Amino acid sequence: MLEISDIRKTFHPGTPNEVRALQGVSLDLKAESFAIIIGTNGSGKSTLLNAVAGSFITDTGRIHLAGHDITRWPEHKRASLVGRVFQNPFMGTAPDMSIEENLALAARRGLPRGLGWALPRTLRRELRDRVSDLQMGLENRLDNAIGSLSGGQRQALTLLMASWLKPDLLLLDEHTAALDPKSADKVIQLTQEIVERDKLTTLIVTHSMTQAVNLGDRILMMHKGRLLHDIAGSERQRITAGDLLERFEEAGRREVDSEAKD
């Protein structure tokens, strides 16, 4: 489904701010798999997600998704294949527009937008049904500005928006990191429900080791712009949060050793 081969990205090359964010990442993600990306700050987790979503074009390497070579596709074109939820609840919605308008925009993700009504009656009915499925009581506030909602409500709606038209790939970038624990749980539970129901191929970045061991079928650990561990299958079944933390420490130690050698 998603094939990434040896992508590299350096930001601000040749300046004192040079950052080699991705240093040769390859990844093969099968259809319907749910992979968790973990890693320390600055390890390139979010950069990898952004590279797939098309926030920037990689320096080298190729990205294939659902049979298309999307390496040079602009972000808005990739959106026809990719659904996305951001870390910041403010990024995924248009705050001054109503809940139903935001959802209507998502209902045409990647489709041409002409002069047809954005909110025809049939769509309105479907909106109401699917919003009431969230069980957040938002179905009676559909004409409220989405900016008046809490972060958790916004993330739940953004998740609904990203998955409205089943995307070939769902990208979740620490989408619960900015939420209080209760809202975070709710959004994670919702994520699981949607991903399982629609059998979505999913890549999620997280800081939470609990989420990492409880969700998905594959754990990818990144360090310094590289994929350090790829944990799947029976190893994935056995692994605990403690094991993951140990591997982080190990990665840190190796770094100290190699610096000492220099």
Of 49-108, binders to other proteins (CB under 8 A) are: 53, 74-77, 79-80, 82, 84, 86, 90-97, 101-102, 104-106, 108
Over the window 229 to 258, marking each residue x when it contacts other proteins by CB under 8 A and - when it does not, the resulting string is ------------------------------
Tokens 């209507």 label which residue? 104
Strand order in the sheet with 2-11: 19-29, 2-11, 60-65, 68-69
Closest separation in Å from C-beta 254 to other proteins = 36
Q: How far is the CB of 118 from other proteins (least distance, A)?
A: 4
Q: How far is the CB of 54 from other proteins (least distance, A)?
A: 9
Q: Which is nearer to other proteins, 148 or 240 (CB)?
A: 148
Task: For other proteins, give the closer residue by CB, 126 or 243.
Answer: 126
Q: Which helix (H) or strand (E) segment is 27 a member of?
A: strand 19-29
Would you say 23 or 80 has its CB closer to other proteins? 80
Whichever of 56 and 253 has its CB closer to other proteins, that residue is 56
**Residue count, binding to other proteins (CB under 8 A):** 37
Rounded to whole angstroms, the Cα distance separating 233 from 252 reads: 25
Distance CA 43, CA 221 (A): 9
What residues form DSSP beta bridges with 213? none
- If we measure between CA atoms, which residue out of 57, 59, 53, 40 comes closest to residue 225? 40
CB of 80 to other proteins, least distance (A): 5
Give the footprint of other proteins on residues 163-222 (CB under 8 A): none
Distance from CA of residue 159 to its chain's centroid?
A: 10
Q: Are 63 and 169 in contact (CB under 8 A)?
A: no
Q: Considering only residues 145, 178, 232, 239, which one is a binding residue for other proteins as defined by CB under 8 A? A: 145
What would the two tokens of residue 221 be?
A: 């650990």
Nearest distance, CB of residue 250 and other proteins, angstroms: 36
For residues 79 and 232, which CB has a smaller minimum distance to other proteins in the complex?
79
Distance, CA of 47 to chain centre: 11
- Strand pairing class (2-11; 60-65): antiparallel
| Pairing of the two strands 226-232 and 218-223 | antiparallel
Q: What are phi and psi of 135, to 5 degrees?
A: 55, 45
Hunting for tokens 């298309």 — which residue is that? 68
Range 98-127, binding other proteins (CB under 8 A): 101-102, 104-106, 108-111, 113-119
Minimum distance, C-beta of residue 99 to other proteins, in the bound complex (Å): 13
Cβ-based nearer residue to other proteins, 53 or 227? 53
* H or E element that contains 203: strand 202-205
Smallest distance, other proteins to C-beta of residue 247, A:
32
Q: Is the dihedral of CA 106, 111, 112, 118 positive or negative?
A: negative
Q: How far is the CB of 117 from other proteins (least distance, A)?
A: 6
The binding site for other proteins (CB under 8 A) comprises 53, 74-77, 79-80, 82, 84, 86, 90-97, 101-102, 104-106, 108-111, 113-119, 145, 161-162
